[in-house]
A and B are shown apart, each in its own frame.
Chain A
Amino acid sequence: MKTSLNNVYLLDAYSHNELDTEARLLLDARLIIDSALKDDFFWQEKTYKLIKKYGQQELRKQLKTVEHDFFHNPKHKTLIQRIKRYFQ
C-alpha cells in the first residue's frame, strides 16, 4: 500500500480500537508531535461522521418509501382507517 494509504489504514484502526496497546500508545505520541498526522486524523474523524449522516439520510429515505407504501396499499385500508380514527 502507498504511504498515504498506510496513514489512512493506521488511523482507521486507531479510531475503531483495533490497535494493540503498544501501537496505540505510539500513535498517541505521534499525534501529539506530528501536526500533519493530527490534521489527517481530524479530517478522517469528520469523514466517519459524514458517512454516518449519509447512512441515516439514506435509511430515512427508505423508511419514507415503506411508510408511503404502507399507507397507500389497499390491503391495509381497514388498518389505516383504524389508525386515523385514533386521531379524530
Chain B
Amino acid sequence: MEISEACEEHVIFSKDLFTTFYRETFPSVAKYISKKGGTLEQAKDIFQDALVIYYEQIVCNRHLIKTTAPAYIFGVVKHLWNHQYKLGLNHEPLSADVEMMDEDTNRQMSDERLLALLTKVGNRCLNLLKTFYYDKISMGKLAKQFGFSSERSATVQKFKCLEKVRAFIKEKSLHYEDFLE
C-alpha cells in the first residue's frame, strides 16, 4: 500500500491495516533481526516501535514520503536496531520526549501516575482530547464519534476538557509536591 493511500483513509486505528503489516512486513523484519543476532521478542518490540512511528508520522501528521508503507517501516526498524536495540538502549518504550531527570522532575508526580488518575476521573475528556490532538481526527468526524450536535459544540467541549484536564494535572502535581515537603 502506498503511504498516501493510508493518509487518505485516515482512520483512528485500522486493525485491518496493522494486521496486514504483521502478515506482510513482520516476517522480513523478523528475518532481519534474527540475522543481526536479536530475539523474537526484540523483533516484536522493535516492530511495534516502528508501527507507532509510522502512525504518528504518516497517519497522524500526514507527512508524505515517496515510498511504500512496508519500505518505510522496514527503514525505521533498521534505524532503531542500529541506534537503540543493538546498543541495549531499548529498556524504555520509545518516546520523542526524552526527559532529563533533574530535581524538579523528581519532585513532580510521574506522568504514568498522573495518567492513571486521569483515566479514572475523566476518561471521556481524555479520549476526546486524544482523538483530536494525537489521532488528529477532524472536528467534524470527532463531533459524530462523540455524539455532538455540531462541530461548534464539539469545539467548545474540547476546550472545556482541555481546561478541566489542565486544572487536574496542576492540582495533582502541586499537591504531590506539598506532600513531599
- Residues of A whose CB lies within 8 Å of any CB of B are 1, 4-5, 8-9, 12, 40, 43-44, 46-60, 62-64, 66-67, 69-70, 76, 79, 82-84, 86-87
Expressed in whole angstroms, the minimum distance between the Cβ of B131 and any Cβ of chain A is: 9
List 28 A-B residue pairs with CB atoms under 8 Å apart, sorted by A's residue number. A1-B159, A5-B156, A5-B160, A5-B163, A8-B162, A12-B159, A46-B166, A50-B111, A50-B115, A51-B126, A51-B129, A52-B97, A52-B134, A53-B95, A53-B97, A54-B126, A55-B135, A56-B52, A57-B115, A60-B93, A62-B13, A66-B18, A66-B22, A70-B26, A83-B26, A83-B30, A84-B40, A86-B34
Q: How far is the CA of A43 from the CA of B162 in the complex (A)?
A: 10
List 6 tightest A-B contacts by C-beta distance, closest first. A55-B134, A86-B34, A70-B22, A43-B170, A8-B163, A83-B30
Q: Decide: B40 and A54 in contact? CB cutoff 8 A.
A: no
Whether B111 and A79, one on each chain, are in contact in the complex, defined by CB atoms closer than 8 angstroms, is no
